[in-house]
Amino acid sequence: MSDRGYKGFGDKALPFLTALGFHQNREWFSENRDIFEEHLNEPRGLLIDDLAARLAEEQIPLTCNRKNSTFRINRDVRFAKEKHPYNTHVSAVITRTGAKKDQGLIYFHVSPRHSFLATGFYGMESDELRAFRQAIVARQPGFEAALAPLLALGYTVDAENSLKRTPRGFETVNDPDTVARLRLRHITLSRRFGADRLSGTRLFDDIVELARASQPLLEFGWRAIDPVRAARIEQPA
């Protein structure tokens, strides 16, 4: 349990996000900014502070910080068809460096309709994804063992956007379970949570539990993709 600053999100957190969905304009947000700061933004910051400290204490190779790990409430609408200016959720990532683009993450997402925790590797470059798939084939029992602690906690593999066909270069793989893993676009698992987890330190405890259980999967993925990333960096311009 956290003995630091995080004591849960405010009781107006979800009502604010719900109302924001109806009042997608800067005037309304400006008038209600204090609610956002007190019930959502500052609790998220305290949660991130506490998580960074606990992960360091337990020597888990993940971290986060308020500047680099959080997503803005303002949407980037420059290239989006949907022009509403605000997200109706708050979220953050926990990675090896605390940066959002670092591969191998834990993610928390607070929303009135769909709050969830997730872990894994999302949006890998094509060469990274291929290396990960090769590692799944080469070390299939190890990959399944890495998933086991997460599955035991009720997390499920995110397969909604899977390829319909086996990716090129893996056509000779016949095991149905392995084929299903190879068709994944992202190697992530997630679990939804209810509004009750937002009070007290329940969400803090859940994320620490997830960080511990994620280590086999994250280590498996880093072992697969780090050499690819290093080789890319070393290539001459």
Type of residue found at 85: P
Across the chain, what does the average pLDDT equal? 94
Q: Does 82 reside within a domain?
A: yes
**What is the tens place of the pLDDT at every residue in 183-206?**
999 999 999 999 999 999 999 999
Has residue 133 been placed in a domain? yes
Phi, psi of 86, deg, nearest 5: -125, 140
Q: What is the pLDDT of residues 17-60, one digit of tens each?
A: 999 999 999 999 999 999 999 999 999 999 999 999 999 999 99
pTM of the predicted model over 0.85: yes
Nearest to 87 by CA among 21, 131, 140: 21
Q: Is the confidence at residue 82, as pLDDT, over 90? A: no
Query: Which residue range(s) make up the domain with 150?
Result: 13-231
**Quick check: is 45 in a domain?**
yes
- The answer to whether position 3 is within a domain reads no
Return the H-helix or E-strand segment holding 17. helix 13-22
Assign 77 a pLDDT band (cuts: 50, 70, 90): confident
Tally the domains of the chain. 1
Percent of the chain with pLDDT over 90: 89
pLDDT at 81: 73
Report yes or no on 95 lying in a domain: yes
Dihedral of CA atoms 149, 155, 160, 163 in degrees, nearest 10, equals 0
Does 97 reside within a domain? yes
Is the residue at 5 inside a domain?
no
Is residue 25 in some structural domain? yes
Q: Model confidence at 236, in pLDDT bands (50, 70, 90)?
A: low
Nearest to 183 by CA among 169, 204, 198, 195: 169
